[in-house]
Amino acid sequence: MSADLLTSSGSVTSGASLEVRAVHRTFDGESGPVAALAGVSLYVEPASFDAVIGPSGCGKSTLFQILAGLQQPDAGDVLIDGLARRDRLGICAYMPQRDGLLEHLRTVDNVALGLTLQGVGRAAARQRAQELLDRFGLGRFAGAWPWQLSGGMRHRAAFLRTVLLDRAAMLLDEPFGALDGITRGELHTWLLDVWEAVGSTVALITHDVAEAVFLADRVHVMTPRPGRVCATFPIELPRPRTPEMQESAAFAGYEAQLREALREQRA
């Protein structure tokens, strides 16, 4: 499926596994060192969609920045596609909390950014970005400046930019945190459509229990700071997921389980 849309570049295949083993990370705070992560272990299967959920300040973002290669752990291993790598920048695609669109680039050029940075010609990169935009309902907005897009559109464009990178895995750091509930619901279905088309591994940070259950194959629950993963729940709802499933008893059961796990952490 992904072959016609994206051509694989680099040595790591799309749909790689992600693994962190006993990762520790401490920052220098104003009043002494602050442990952000204390022995996080996490495994995301190839081509799986996993969510990481936890209270704010539990180090979720730090964990993702370590996976992306923006930070190094003080201790522990990071394995991508089974290989420990120190220089991880450029291996996983990363989507920050805000959309990170560059205001001086039209939508199509923002989506094509990763390709042009790699040296792909502007025309070729634009064409691939345009194809992706057309296919996932943003074609009309290709020539718009970012300020002309709605919040939901900006996030769609930002996500397609992440997709077009065609990386080992996609790390989404609370991509929908800033959006209203209705837009968020629309984006969930849209995101799953895109994901099923490209077959990449996705790890998503959220603090929304329903979002985690609706999107993910597995939900990893993190403890408050210093963070570590304390429980993993497989979500065995069939795919493709539909919004109606959110009304099902099974869905409510998963939500209850997760809420319970989060409550235990707070206590």
Partner 1 sequence: MSLAPAPASVLPARRERRRGFARLWPPLLVLVALLAAWEIATRLFAVSPEILPGPRLVASASWADRANLGSAMWTTTREALLGILLATICAVLLAVAIDWSRTVRRSLYPVLLASQTLPIIVLAPLVVIWFGFGTGPKVALVALFTFFPIVVGAVQGLAAADPEAMALLRTMGATRRQLLLRVRVPGALGHFFTGLKVAVTYAYVSAIFAEYVGAQQGLGVYMQSAKNALRTELVFGAIVATALLTALLFGGVALLERVAMPWRRPAAADVVW
User: Position of tokens 């939508």?
Assistant: 107
Confirm or reject binding of residue 147 to partner 1 (CB under 8 A): yes
- Smallest distance from the beta carbon of 54 to partner 1, in angstroms? 21
Confirm or reject binding of residue 66 to partner 1 (CB under 8 A): no
- Taking the least distance from each CB to partner 1, the nearer of 89 and 250 is 89
Length in residues, the chain: 267
Q: Answer yes or no: are the C-beta atoms of 62 and 71 closer than 8 Å.
A: yes
- Taking the least distance from each CB to partner 1, the nearer of 83 and 102 is 102
Confirm or reject binding of residue 68 to partner 1 (CB under 8 A): yes
- Taking the least distance from each CB to partner 1, the nearer of 105 and 231 is 105
List the x/- string, 71-90, binding to partner 1 by CB under 8 A.
Answer: ------------------xx
What are the backbone dihedrals phi and psi of residue 128, each rounded to the nearest 5 degrees, phi first?
-65, -35
Q: Which stretch binds partner 1 (CB under 8 A): 22-30, 93-101, 180-188, 197-205?
A: 93-101
Q: Which of 57, 143, 234, 243 touches partner 1 (CB under 8 A)?
A: 143
Confirm or reject binding of residue 139 to partner 1 (CB under 8 A): yes
- Taking the least distance from each CB to partner 1, the nearer of 142 and 222 is 142
Q: Alpha-carbon distance 7 to 132, whole Å?
A: 13
Confirm or reject binding of residue 37 to partner 1 (CB under 8 A): no
What are the backbone dihedrals phi and psi of residue 162, each rounded to the nearest 5 degrees, phi first?
-65, -40
What are the backbone dihedrals phi and psi of residue 227, each rounded to the nearest 5 degrees, phi first?
-80, 145
List the x/- string, 46-65, binding to partner 1 by CB under 8 A.
Answer: -------------------x
Q: Alpha-carbon distance 267 to 264, whole Å?
A: 5
**Where on the chain is the footprint of partner 1 (CB under 8 A)?**
65, 68-70, 89-90, 92-98, 100, 102-106, 108, 113-114, 117-118, 123, 126-127, 130, 139-148, 165
